[in-house]
A and B are shown apart, each in its own frame.
Chain A
Amino acid sequence: MYSRAYKTIVALPPLLWVGLFLLLPYALMFAHSFWTVRDGFIAHQWNLQNYRTLLANPVYLGVFLRTMRIAASVALCSLLLGYPLAYYLSFHSGARKELLYQLVIVPLWVSYLVRGYAWKTILGSEGVLNGFLRYLHVTTEPVSFLLYSPFAVVLVLTHIYTPFVFLPIYASLEHIPRPLVEASQDLGANPLKTFLRVILPLSMPGFIAGATFAFVLSLGDFLAPLLVGGASGTMIANVVQSLFGAAYDWPLGAAISVCILFITVGLLFATERLEKRWAAK
């Protein structure tokens, strides 16, 4: 029904644009990872030096591992918070489901920076939380580990990504036909067994999607560490940022970025495969 002219007109501009403004930049990043810096300039010599550095130098590895740990913690905590919330909304919220759903989504639209900043004001030694604790005479000295630590980063990122994790889990739960739950109870399974044997397995696609999102997005985050991470809460993206800034080693920064990219794409690819296998069962 659509002529060749029509199809060309619709396909060509986006293809060209994406090729020029996405494919090419990513390719440039990739290329840079194989170059080096010499005398303050980027030398276009192809080599694997950057990757060797990353593997050999324990500093980089250390930050990588810390980043993975933080990302995993964020994913875990977001799941612990987001799943029960989604479950409650889907199965027990009755008439207020619509309203509660909107309430969960609202924070998603509020600026990341605003939310991170809010925690900064809460967690500091002069912050709201410390003031609150002192007001209640629970402590006399300010609790210092709250801010400028990996704990703070995990806290902030969990806060940011819990609604993100909530969404696909909620969608999965809503897709479960209620008669299945009723059938399970009819056959003698109590709520816990019904949950473990029926609801949880059926909500796996959303579960996996949510966890992956939280992990992947936390992995490359550089804002939360800058806001609340301090020296001990630096993540790998901050290293990249400084390599493109003061430390001026674009090729090395590109190499790290390529690693992050591969981990991200690899993870998403793996979970996609998993979901397909799950759906086929």
Chain B
Amino acid sequence: MEYGEGGPVTPGSANSSAQATAREHPGLLEVRGIVKSFGNREVLKRISLEVVRGEFLTLLGESGSGKTTLLRLIAGFEQPNGGEIWMNGERLDTLPPYRRRVNTVFQNYALFPHLSVRDNVAFGLRVKGGAPSEEITERVNQALRMVKMSEYASTRPSKISGGQQQRVALARALINRPELLLLDEPLSALDANLRKQMQSELKSLQREVGITFLFVTHDQEEAMALSDRIALLRDGALEQIASPREIYSRPATAYTAQFVGQTNLLRCQVQAGCASCGGIAIVPAAGPEGPATFSLRPEAIKCFPEVPSGAPMMKFKATIRQQIYAGATELLEVECAGQYLRVRRTAGAPLSGEQEFSFSPDDAIRVRD
């Protein structure tokens, strides 16, 4: 299915019409039942989600989960085999990429090597014509100031570092004032320290500019640090979409619980409001009877003698198998009746043998498999 030249071009950013659109459509982008296959491999399986105006939404997932494919579909470099994409109440997927009010920051930046930084940033304005050159110059300077690259304006991309290239790529995309900015793992090529620094710069930039960001990454820590909401993709389907706090504290599935942060998965049998998992009991346990899986985060398990007062706690005994020191905290690998669990606590004295552990039943989240 090739895109044609049809579909109305979304209007420019005259303020009143933008406000009217925002009132009508709080959801900026709607992905409706998108299916995408490459050959006979189905990469996206009828996926639907909505992107809220002004939010920082992250598509999180392993490689092969379809997150980059979905991004490219929204950008216009691939065509869906089924389903539709809508933006601001108008059909998006029938438009070619150069007609969409969407811009992309590519994984390897894709800066034009034969143009200077200034000319790279000005590119989008120049090709569309219309704006007088003084206005273009002014906007380019503004954009360069925003990403702190003003002094490199006349330099070629090959002469600046990776982090600097990334900023230029950002400026080049943002200067066009897109409705939606797509970022395809833009920080993956940077080393750890630079990455952290760029994360916080990116976050404050988004707040300052107010543009909706759709961010792709496989790094769950990064996703939690940056996002207003996280959409976790797994094998081409949407596993869960929620704020970082909610995804972490109330994962919907076992996969989510394990992918975002670490967890212990307890296989239990629920009967009469009580779940029994080998040597561990959880009361009260909601939901239907029968086999169930519970997610219990390592930091939720307390090690005797740190027993907080108040709420009723579940207790169990387990033998300490390993104690892994990590500076501020340590990880205890314990075994309870054949089940292995992990417990995280602040680093303390060496422990061994059998110990008593406890946790609050509220921290044990029942998850789907």
Please, how many angstroms separate the alpha-carbon atoms of A4 and B4 in the complex?
A: 10
Number of contact residues on A: which range applies?
under 10
B2 touches A3 (CB 8 A): yes
Provide the bound-state CA to CA distance between A1 and B96, in Å.
9
Minimal beta-carbon separation of A35 from chain B (angstroms):
48
List the B side residues contacting A3 at CB < 8 Å. 2-3, 96
Residues of B within 8 A of A4 (CB): 2
Chain A residues closer than 8 Å to B77, beta-carbon distance: 1
Q: Beta-carbon contacts of A1-43 to B below 8 Å, as 1s and 0s?
A: 1011000000000000000000000000000000000000000
Please name the residue on chain B nearest to A1 by beta carbon.
B77
Q: Which residues of A contact B96 (CB under 8 A)?
A: 3
Kindly state the separation between the CA atoms of A3 and B96 in the bound complex, as whole angstroms.
9
Q: How far is the CA of A1 from the CA of B77 in the complex (A)?
A: 6
- Which residues does chain A contribute within 8 Å of B3, judged by CB atoms? 3
At the interface, is chain A mostly helix, strand, loop or mixed?
loop
Number of A-B residue pairs with CB-CB distance less than 8 Å in the complex they form = 5
Q: Which of A148-162 contact B (CB under 8 A)?
A: none
State A278–B146 Cα separation when bound (angstroms): 57
Complex CA distance for A145 and B173, rounded to whole angstroms:
76
Complex CA distance for A1 and B2, rounded to whole angstroms: 9
- In the bound complex, how far is the Cα of B77 from the Cα of A4, in angstroms? 14
B239 to chain A, nearest CB (A): 29
B97, closest chain A residue (CB): A1
- Measured CB to CB, the closest approach of chain A to B81, in angstroms, equals 16
**Least CB separation from A4: chain B residue:** B2
Distance, CA A1 to CA B3, complexed state (A): 10
Q: Chain A's nearest CB lies how many Å from the CB of B232? A: 28
Contacts of B2 in A (CB 8 A): 3-4
Complexed CA–CA distance, A3 and B94 (Å): 13
Min distance, Cβ A81 to any Cβ of chain B, angstroms? 42
Q: Which of B50-93 contact A (CB under 8 A)?
A: 77
- As a 0/1 sequence over residues 1 to 45 of chain B, the CB contacts with chain A under 8 angstroms (1 = contact) are 011000000000000000000000000000000000000000000
| Shortest Cβ gap from B78 to chain A (Å) | 8
Complex-state Cα separation, A3 to B77, whole angstroms:
11
Which residues of the other chain, B, contact A1 by a CB distance below 8 angstroms? 77
| CB nearest to B5 among chain A residues | A3
Q: Which residue of A lies closest to B4 (CB)?
A: A3
Interface residues of B in 87-117 (CB under 8 A from A): 96
Give the distance to chain A from B349, nearest Cβ to Cβ, in Å. Answer: 52
* Interchain nearest-CB distance for B36 vs A (Å): 15
CA–CA, A10 to B77, complex, Å? Answer: 20
How far apart are A252's CB and chain B's nearest CB, in angstroms?
53
Q: How far is the CA of A1 from the CA of B78 in the complex (A)?
A: 7
Per the bound structure, the CA–CA distance linking A124 and B77 in Å amounts to: 68
Measured CB to CB, the closest approach of chain B to A41, in angstroms, equals 54
Measured CB to CB, the nearest residue on chain B to A2 is B2
| Interchain nearest-CB distance for B80 vs A (Å) | 14
Looking at the assembled complex, report how far the CB atom of A5 sits from the nearest CB atom of chain B, in whole angstroms.
9
CA–CA, A1 to B79, complex, Å?
9
Contact code string B260-282 (vs A, CB < 8 Å = 1, else 0): 00000000000000000000000
CB distance from B74 to the nearest CB of A (A): 15
Distance of A230 from chain B, by nearest CB (Å): 56
Complex Cα distance, B2 from A38, in Å, reads: 58
Cβ < 8 Å to B, chain A residues 80-120: none
| Residue from the set B2, B3, B77 with the largest chain A CB neighbour count within 10 Å | B2
Nearest-neighbor residue (CB-CB) of B3 within chain A? A3
Give the nearest-CB partner of B79 in chain A: A1
Distance between B68 CB and nearest chain A CB, rounded to angstroms: 15
Question: Complex Cα distance A237/B107, Å?
Answer: 57
Tell me the nearest residue of chain A to B77, going by C-beta: A1
Closest-CB distance, A254 to chain B (whole angstroms): 46
What residues make up the interface of B, taking CB atoms closer than 8 Å to A? 2-3, 77, 96
Q: Which 3 A-B pairs have the closest CB atoms?
A: A1-B77, A4-B2, A3-B2
Sampled A-B contacts (5; CB under 8 Å) = A1-B77, A3-B2, A3-B3, A3-B96, A4-B2
